[in-house]
Amino acid sequence: MITQYFRPTTLDEAIQLLAKPNTRPLGGGTVLNQRSDESFAVVDLQALGLDKIHKSGGKLEIGATATLSLLLENAYIPAALAAAIRLEAPLNLRNIGTVAGALAACDGRSPFAAVMLALDAKVIFVPDNEQITLGNYLPLRVGAGLVPARGGRPQGSPLQSQLITKIEIPLNVKLAYESVARTPADKPIVCAALAQWDSGRTRLVLGGWGASPSVAMDGNEASGVEAAARNAAHDAADEWASAEYRSEVAAVLAKRCLEHLQ
């Protein structure tokens, strides 16, 4: 449970507070306000002005505390990303859940994380303005073997003393998303997100199981997406579906995504 609450007005103050043990960043609070047996302090980020979204050249810069609803309303986001955001959470949670919080707390069934990973999103931290890809961030987030939902900054990880300020995604790409779920509004049992750049670079991400979505293919052309999807899901068994089922469905979804881009 939350035992201390801080609301800094500068990034420097926030970073100093977050360097303390058992202290976590608080964005929309959809995760940290849940009942927990743990005791920890929170640093509310809402007064830091990190909720802006703007286009800069061929990329979209998304403030860490921008809500999912605010991102959904942005005129520049691709239709496939909008669809994934709608599936990520119901309206009330989209109105308070933040972009950085959704990525920090995601598991493999997150449509939003799958699409952002397909876009090869960049995550920017302070105090050093370090930039890493979302693909590199997700393993660090769970590197200590802890539940990622607790702010994505496990004690002892390289992220412990850093704070996400924004996420960047490219706009000059074609993007498609497909999924299979128990109901149209449910989180996916299998999902595929496919991004293709003007250069021909093609990046396929699969989700629906595990601790986070995973990259199935990242190459210079689109040939082989079905085989890549089938191979990437070969051991994806859990209580929701068998590996055999996911492997076949992933190949079908990858093919559909590619057809959308052509």
Domain boundary among 130, 152, 170: 170
68 and 165 part of one domain: yes
133 and 179 part of one domain: no
253 and 240 part of one domain: yes
Residue 27 lies in a domain: no
Element (H, E) at 5: strand 2-6
CATH number for the domain that contains residue 201: 3.30.390.50
Domain extent at residue 140: 48-170
How many CA atoms are closer than 13 Å to the CA of 198, on its beta-carbon side?
4
pTM of structure:
0.91
147 and 221 part of one domain: no
184 and 165 part of one domain: no
Residue 61 lies in a domain: yes
Element (H, E) at 190: strand 190-197
Q: Residue 174 has what pLDDT? A: 97
Q: Residue 150 has what pLDDT? A: 40
216 and 140 part of one domain: no
Domain boundary among 170, 195, 213: 170
Domain total in the chain: 2
Domain boundary among 136, 170, 204: 170
85-139 pLDDT, tens digit each: 999 999 999 999 999 999 988 999 999 999 999 999 999 998 888 899 999 999 8
CATH number for the domain that contains residue 104: 3.30.465.10
**90-94 contacts, C-beta under 8 A, 24 or more apart:** 93/30, 93/68, 94/67, 94/68, 94/69
Q: Residue 229 has what pLDDT? A: 97
143 and 218 part of one domain: no
126 and 193 part of one domain: no
60 and 157 part of one domain: yes
99 and 78 part of one domain: yes
pLDDT of the chain, 262 residues: tens digit per residue:
777 888 999 999 998 888 888 888 888 766 666 666 677 888 889 899 999 999 999 999 999 999 999 999 999 999 999 999 999 999 999 999 999 999 988 999 999 999 999 999 999 998 888 899 999 999 887 543 333 334 444 444 555 567 899 999 999 999 999 999 999 888 999 999 999 999 999 999 999 999 999 999 999 988 899 999 999 999 999 999 999 999 999 999 999 999 999 8
202 and 137 part of one domain: no
208-230 pLDDT, tens digit each: 999 999 999 999 988 899 999 99
189 and 213 part of one domain: yes
Residue 38 DSSP symbol: -
In angstroms, the CA 90 to CA 153 distance is 25
